[in-house]
Amino acid sequence: MKLIIGLGNPGNRYDGTRHNIGFHVIDTLMARHGLTMMDQKFKADYTIWRHPQDKVLLLKPFTYMNLSGEALLPFMSYYGIAMEDIVVVYDDLDLEPGRIRLRQNGSAGGHNGIKSIIQMLGAQDFKRIRVGIGRPQGGWKVVDHVLATFRPEEQDSVNEASQLAADALDDWVDGKDFLKIMNTYNQRK
C-alpha cells in the first residue's frame, strides 16, 4: 500500500490559499481519477484509491499545517505503510508558482508541516513533491503570504504545477522509479 499526503489547513477559510497547495494537488489527482474523500480517521480526511498496481491512500490532515505529522504517523502504523511508500506534497516559498521539485529526502527547510512529520516519524527519509508558491512581495510577512490566495495572474501557473505534481504521482503509483521521475519533472520549466 502507498500513501500520498497533501499538506494544508482545513476549512473554507483556507481554501485556495498558498499554504493549501498540497490539498489542491490531492484534489487534482482525485478529480482526474473520479475519486472523492470517503471518510475521516486519525485526524484526516482520506480515501483509498484502488489502483491496478497497488492500493493508495490519499490523505488531507485536518490537524492544521504545523501538526501534520499527527495525522500521518497513525495511518502509516495502522495500514503498515513503510517510509519508502509515502510521498508528501506541500508548498515551497523558494520555488516560483508553476514550478515543482521532487526530492527523496532532506531537512524541513523551515517548513513547519515537514518539521512535524520529521519529528513524528523520527526520520527525514521520505519522498516529497514541493510545489512553488513564491516569496512574499511588497513587505508582506511570510505568514500573511502563505495564508493569502494566489494572484489572478498566477492561477494558470498554479494549476499547471498541480497537474505536473499529479502527473508525477501517477507515474509513482504506476510503479516508475522515483529517481527517474525526479529526473523528468525537476528539469521541467
Packing angle of the helix pair 21-32, 155-173 (nearest 10 deg)? 60
Residue 176: partners with Cβ closer than 8 Å, 6 or more residues away = none
The residue annotated as part of the active site, out of 19, 24, 111, 145, is: 19
Active site residue 19: yes
> Distance between CA atoms of 42 and 55, rounded to whole angstroms?
19
Of 71, 70, 65, 68, give the one whose Cα is nearest residue 57.
Answer: 71
SS3 state of residue 50: strand
DSSP bridge partners of 46:
39, 59
> Distance between CA atoms of 181 and 161, rounded to whole angstroms?
15
The torsion angles phi and psi of 54, rounded to 5 degrees, stand at -170, 160
Tell me the catalytic residues: 19
